[in-house]
A and B are shown apart, each in its own frame.
Chain A
Amino acid sequence: MALRTGAFVNVIQSAIPAVSEAIALLYSNHPLVESGGFADFHVSVRAATGVRRWLRRQVLFEFDGARPFKPLPFPQAFPMLEWGLNWCVSNHCNNLLVFHAAVIAHENRALILAAPPGYGKSTLCAALVNCGWRLLSDELTLIDPASGNVLPLARPVSLKNASIGVIRSFAPDAPLSRIVTDTVKGSVAHMRPPVGSVQRANEPAKPHWIVFPRFQSGAPTTLSPYAKARAFMQLADNAFNYNVHGKRGFETVADLVSSSGCYEFSYGNLNEAVSVFDTLAKSAP
């Protein structure tokens, strides 16, 4: 099966029912591509064979016959596919600047959410795309150095631990995959991207805001300006291939920071957070 996600075509093979089930649910809006064309990534997820499968069933991710990762426990087959597809992009697309950050858009103005795991970045991203923002990506922000544009991926949003319940009650209609427990990141579930985001997955957006969010339970909702030089360092530190681009990487990040409003955002309540971002969107010229 060949799935198109943004600019990429992924050929995915898996005989594992949990994987096909999750794909059917989460990628139901994604276009299928006829086989026989050019595909960016050929991947498979399959059960490991050998002695150890009798002790503990495991699952393997293969990229075109190579195995970049250690096997994982069998129930983690689908998260492994998602992580593997992220790796495909972040490890190969050196024609782009790839950041570990979520990115959403309002009228083609992109808002980049950069934060370490556990800071509530994916939760905020999931909430906002359920309130009219367009999902570009929840894990990988792709910047084309030639144009400075953000390229969409529109793949499922990964939710962890408490966020799963939070999004379930915040957006009860958003389809979520089955929860997989005991992964390296705890419990994981994926949310289907809104159909509108998938339909517009070939429309780039212009970077307009860079926000460093942080969830703290009970914290007041505050959005405050963040020093641009620090935003630069923070973003570059979150890039997979900033240094691969050398001087061009520096210029691209510098332009990105210069042309965007940079903010620190602290929140403890998701509804308040969403209204702050709506105000931000409306304030844009």
Chain B
Amino acid sequence: MICWREWDGEIVVYYDLTGNTHLLNSLAGLVLRRLAESGAARSVAELTESIGPSVAIEPDIAQIEAVEAVLTDLERFGLAARGTA
């Protein structure tokens, strides 16, 4: 459903369902990958932890906020959805 290619840390995503193509920054690319690999994440914290080592930001509140922002953006374009557990 989602096709992507990565070049130098930037990711281009094609989403079959909307037909839209997005250029993502590296963090957004990682988040999307984690979600695609695992199907879902239980919480933003868990998701942040799972990508923690791969990005050069401190695994702290700031990073959780960054991941939060990524999810909001991905949601806007239908690339991710938050469900009720």
* Chain A residues packing against B (C-beta within 8 Å): 227-230, 232-233, 236, 242-243, 246-247, 250-251, 254, 257-258
Q: Is the CB of B53 closer than 8 A to any CB of chain A?
A: no
Asked whether, in the complex, the Cβ of A254 is within 8 Å of the Cβ of B12, the reply is yes
A254 and B5 contact, Cβ closer than 8 Å, known pairs A227-B10, A230-B23, A233-B23: yes
CB distance from A245 to the nearest CB of B (A): 11
Please, how many angstroms separate the alpha-carbon atoms of A230 and B10 in the complex? 8
CB of B74 closer than 8 Å to a CB of A: no
Do the beta carbons of B7 and A257 come within 8 Å of each other? Answer: yes
* Contact B3–A251 (Cβ < 8 Å): yes
**Which chain B residues lie closer than 8 Å to A254 at the CB level?**
5, 12
Task: Name 29 A/B residue pairs within 8 A (Cβ), A-sorted.
Answer: A227-B7, A227-B10, A228-B7, A228-B8, A228-B10, A229-B5, A229-B6, A229-B8, A229-B10, A229-B12, A229-B23, A230-B10, A230-B23, A232-B7, A233-B12, A233-B21, A236-B21, A242-B21, A243-B19, A246-B19, A247-B3, A250-B12, A250-B14, A250-B21, A251-B3, A254-B5, A254-B12, A257-B5, A258-B5
| A227 to B11 CA separation, bound complex (whole angstroms) | 11
Kindly list the 8 A-B residue pairs having the minimum CB-CB distance in the complex, ordered from nearest: A229-B10, A228-B7, A250-B14, A254-B5, A229-B7, A232-B12, A233-B23, A229-B12
